[in-house]
Structure 1
Amino acid sequence: MNHIFYLMGKSSSGKDTVYSRILEDSELIPIVLYTTRPIRAGEREGVEYHFVDDERFNAMRDSGEVIEWRTYDTKCGKWTYYTAKDSISTDRGDRIGIGTLESYLKIKEYLGDEILVPVYIEVDDDIRFLRAVEREKRQSAPKYAELCRRFLADNEDFSDEKLSEAGVTHRFSNNGSLEECLSAVKKYMSDFQE
């Protein structure tokens, strides 16, 4: 049976780096989500996300192509993130994706427990906040108010209670060595692939 390994974590937890590093030396197929938010410096269409407008999102949702979506009322406007059915087919092999706890639960409802495997990356808040500020500073137009909104929202969205209710039992610390975190995640995933 093929699986979808679903990486989750608060903003600036390092999940994007873990995701990229796993893709470098594995045969996992990436899940590319859709978003209506503007592309950030260094991002590429069809790699980090499919960047679309509201009209495309509405058309896909209305035609039944969208499994789950969430819209955030950010300091920069309303941004929607979503998973389309074309993103999660496991016909060709194991896949890997990144998302929120909310999106994980909706995809789990759509696919079932046996296919979707949660991988939660965690970092202490002080480290996470400093990483977020450093990342935002590299943007051509830093949006610090949005950074703060996301930081606070993540504490609610990924509370211990919500993680427990979702059945997320394995956590991988990225406080220190990225290599140790990456090694632990790869080991966990390989147990499912055997």
Structure 2
Amino acid sequence: MHSFDEEQKIFIYTGPDGSGRKTLARMVATVYDMETVLSYTTRSPRHYETDGKDYHFVSEETFQKMKQNREFIESVDIDGFQYGIREQEIKNAFKHHRLLYLALNPEGADKLKQMFGEKVIRIFVYADRDTVIQRQKERQDSDSDITRHMNHYDETMSYKTKCEHTFENYDLPQVSYQISELVESYLDRDYIESDY
């Protein structure tokens, strides 16, 4: 298992589908030298998703092979689809960056928190039920996908109280700024003042 250096941290964005957590994560990452680690999944890409940018989309067979080889630091099954984070990719990302961010469902966020403790900071991003449905419609999710996501809405929202920080995403630039300030508070920047 990865052992952390003093300054290394993982920020995990979690919350209901359609809350804007991935968009916020990317916006905040541009302010800091933050690298992301993508999940592997057996589900098909949605029309707006790109392999290698949103997820690593793999076959069930490939996923199971990776799982047998113990490549995943954590993996979960959601609605019959597999999701997993590859340990080697976390190690590789930490070679060049001290801050990583991941967008995960509560199960994945919980597992990483249990494994890495205070090195993992969970940021719960949410919006009300009508707003997330509207956002999913705007990005042209299928009705069956929206129904599937909304079946998890209440359960996902119940994870809010377990996370270190919570943001209602009502205004992207504003919330992005608030999260950037939060990240800043975790960076122990000791400026040495010298008197000449």
Q: State the TM bucket, normalised to the shorter chain.
A: 0.7 to 0.9
Give 5+ residue unaligned stretches, structure 1.
137-141
Aligned to 1:63: 69
How is 1:112-123 mapped onto 2 (pairs within 5 angstroms)?
Answer: 112-123=116-127
Distance between the aligned counterparts of 2:125 and 2:81, measured in 1? 24
Aligned to 2:128: 124
CA contact (8 A) 1:33 1:87 kept: no
Secondary structure class of the residue paired with 1:71: strand
Give 5+ residue unaligned stretches, structure 2.
1-6, 189-196
* Count of matched residue positions in the alignment of Structure 1 and Structure 2: 179
TM-score in terms of structure 2 length: 0.84
Cα distance, 1:81 vs structure 2 = 1.2
Aligned to 2:193: none
Aligned to 1:31: 37
Distance between the aligned counterparts of 2:174 and 2:20, measured in 1? 13
Aligned to 1:87: 89
Secondary structure class of the residue paired with 2:82: strand
Q: Is the counterpart of residue 104 in structure 1 residue 106 in structure 2?
A: no
Cα distance, 1:132 vs structure 2 = 1.4
Distance between the aligned counterparts of 1:46 and 1:182, measured in 2? 24
Q: 1:72 aligns with which of 70, 73, 78?
A: 78
Q: Is the counterpart of residue 188 in structure 1 residue 173 in structure 2?
A: no
CA contact (8 A) 1:121 1:171 kept: yes
Q: For each residue in 1:91-147, what CA deviation from the matched residue of structure 2 results, as whole angstroms up to 9, or x when unmatched?
A: 43211110011101111222x2121111111111121111112212xxxxx520221
CA contact (8 A) 2:15 2:156 kept: no
Q: Is the counterpart of residue 158 in structure 1 residue 152 in structure 2?
A: no
CA contact (8 A) 2:31 2:180 kept: no
Distance between the aligned counterparts of 1:26 and 1:192, measured in 2? 12
**Over 4 Å off, 4+ runs:** none
Distance between the aligned counterparts of 1:9 and 1:132, measured in 2? 14
The alpha-carbon distance between structure 1 residues 109 and 85, as it changes in their structure 2 partners (threshold 3 A), is same
CA contact (8 A) 2:77 2:83 kept: yes
Aligned to 1:135: 139
TM-score in terms of structure 1 length: 0.85
Q: For each residue in 1:46-101, what CA deviation from the matched residue of structure 2 results, as whole angstroms up to 9, or x when unmatched?
A: 1111111111111111111112222233xxxx321111212323343211110011
CA contact (8 A) 1:67 1:106 kept: no
Distance between the aligned counterparts of 2:157 and 2:68, measured in 1? 29
